[in-house]
Amino acid sequence: MRIAVYCSSSLAIDPKYIDLAHSLGAGIAARSWELVSGGGHISAMGAVSRGAREAGGKTIGVIPQRLVDIEFADKECDELHIVDSMRNRKAMIEDLSDAFIALPGGIGTLEELFEIWVGRFLKFHNKPVIILDPYDLYAPLATLIDHLEEHGFVKPGQRELLHWAKSVDQALDIATINSSSK
């Protein structure tokens, strides 16, 4: 199984989020799964790949040439796919992956999360979409989703396609259960 991880490339985040990413990468490798990431080597994005590799896992990165040009690429990936745009990056990550886990992150992570969640609802794919949030960073997002649902903007069935996890093992278990029911 291949797990895509959406996460931060910010250097300004609390180290606990870097540790979480590293643990998720190690957890993916411990199950003999492969990691698919955005192909960067810094912050949480680099940590998830390092965690997977240090635990003997395979890492697949997908990165636009523009980010390679500014020395952002994780050149230690087992496979590093260089694409020409962010749109192509997201499409390739979706195609390569069997499940998606979003870690705490910023606007890029949220954009990827929302796009893959909408794709799931519209049946462009039937793969699990999981938010791994042990520190409740996304608690206001959960409240917002509830609020939007109350006002009819989140349709019936949409919220249920987004799974929430508090631990690495719980997130990976959700990926397993929901991938096998595809």
Q: Calculate the CA dihedral of residues 91, 69, 34, 92 and round it to 10 degrees.
A: 10
Dihedral class, residue 39 (left if φ above 0, else alpha if ψ from -120 to 50, else beta): left
The domain of 176 spans: 2-180
CB contact set of 36 (below 8 Å; sequence gap of 6+): 2, 3, 4, 5, 60, 61, 62, 93, 96, 97
Alpha carbons 149 and 147: distance in angstroms, whole number: 5
* C-beta separation of 47 from 26 below 8 A: no
- Which portions of the chain are predicted below pLDDT 50? 182
Alpha carbons 37 and 89: distance in angstroms, whole number: 10
pLDDT at 71: 81
Alpha carbons 138 and 172: distance in angstroms, whole number: 19
Handedness of CA 18, 20, 26, 32 (dihedral sign): negative
pLDDT at 22: 98
We report the CATH number of the domain holding residue 39 as 3.40.50.450
Judge if pTM exceeds 0.85. Answer: yes
pLDDT at 8: 95
pLDDT in tens, 50-70: 999 999 999 999 999 999 998
Count how many domains the chain has: 1
Alpha carbons 145 and 158: distance in angstroms, whole number: 10
